[in-house]
Amino acid sequence: GESVGLHLPTLSVQEGDNSIINCAYSNSASDYFIWYKQESGKGPQFIIDIRSNMDKRQGQRVTVLLNKTVKHLSLQIAATQPGDSAVYFCAENRAQGGSEKLVFGKGTKLTVNP
């Protein structure tokens, strides 16, 4: 099975709290990582990405942390809002058989309680 995975399949937070969604990967040669958000009935939407020469990248209310030592990726959402409720996927750009491909995790469902 896929080794891009998640520590928790679901996460429930209170509105205004910070959310942390985790992802593990197994290929130490992977050099590019992406987080996607998918709302019900819609296609995945790009949130933020990070390359392996960085360990942190910030966007608007979101931060991605990359720990290459333990092959761990996390997405932090500050001041979580009801509109953040969705499934979040990590993706890993993995070299495989002479080519590269994006491998997606199964997703974490984030629920924001008012």
Partner 1 sequence: DVKVTQSSRYLVKRTGEKVFLECVQDMDHENMFWYRQDPGLGLRLIYFSYDVKMKEKGDIPEGYSVSREKKERFSLILESASTNQTSMYLCASSRARDEKLFFGSGTQLSVL
Residues that bind partner 1 (CB under 8 A): 2, 31-32, 34, 36, 41-46, 49, 89, 91, 93, 99-102, 104-107
Q: How many whole angstroms separate alpha carbon 74 and alpha carbon 35?
A: 9
Residue found under tokens 């590019």: 32
Is residue 47 within 8 Å of 62, Cβ to Cβ? yes
Nearer to partner 1, 83 or 114 (CB): 83
Least distance (Å) from partner 1 to the CB of residue 94? 11
Taking the least distance from each CB to partner 1, the nearer of 17 and 101 is: 101
Separation of alpha carbons 67 and 54, rounded Å: 9
- CB of 86 vs partner 1, minimal distance in Å: 13
Amino acid making up residue 103: V
**In angstroms, what is the minimal distance from the CB of 57 to partner 1?**
13
Using an 8 Å Cβ cutoff, are 49 and 63 in contact? no
Nearer to partner 1, 46 or 79 (CB): 46
